[in-house]
């Protein structure tokens, strides 16, 4: 198991995010948890995460249960700068959870994606809803 930290940009109200944190712990790690709805985002932080993921702002834009549509962020005319500015003003617009480990940075939706970022993996894991997942070996 690595000594490098595992960082989770987490929303405790989100079942997927809670499952990811629990999966990381089941694998033997204690993640650094950043509750981004409380801390907010900086432009540098978002740009660095996006660069690490090889992604664009639209790739991590959360549409469901957010004001994304009302803010005009879903149309083709919403450029990266507009989306990033909106994400900084309203952190709920960033989809979650985003996980960072020495193996990479990913938006972990579905939650099983987190196993790609961990050296150590549990034999199986039972999600909050009762679904049992078996990580790849």
Q: Which residues are catalytic?
A: 14
Cα-trace Rg, the chain: 15
Q: What is the DSSP string of 41-75?
A: --HHHHHHHHHHHT--GGGGB--TTSSTTTTT-SS
Which residue matches tokens 């978002």? 46
* 3-state secondary structure at position 114: helix
b/e for 112-126, b at 16 or more Cβ within 10 A?
A: bbbbebbeebbeebe
- 97 to 69, 76, 78, 100, 137: CA distances (angstroms): 21, 25, 23, 10, 23
- Cα–Cα distance between 65 and 125 in angstroms, integer? 28
């Amino acid at each position: 198991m690595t000594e490098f930290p595992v960082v989770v940009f987490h929303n405790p109200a989100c079942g997927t995010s809670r499952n990811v944190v629990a999966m990381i712990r089941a694998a033997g790690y204690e993640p650094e948890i950043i509750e981004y709805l409380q801390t907010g985002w900086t432009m540098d932080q978002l740009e660095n995460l996006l660069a690490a993921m090889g992604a664009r702002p639209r790739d991590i834009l959360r549409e469901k249960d957010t004001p994304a549509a009302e803010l005009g962020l879903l149309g083709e005319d919403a450029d990266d700068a507009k989306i990033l500015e909106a994400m900084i003003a309203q952190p709920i617009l960033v989809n979650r959870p985003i996980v960072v480990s020495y193996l990479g940075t990913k938006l972990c939706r579905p939650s099983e994606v987190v196993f790609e970022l961990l050296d150590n993996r549990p034999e199986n894991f039972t999600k909050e809803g009762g679904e049992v997942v078996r990580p790849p070996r």
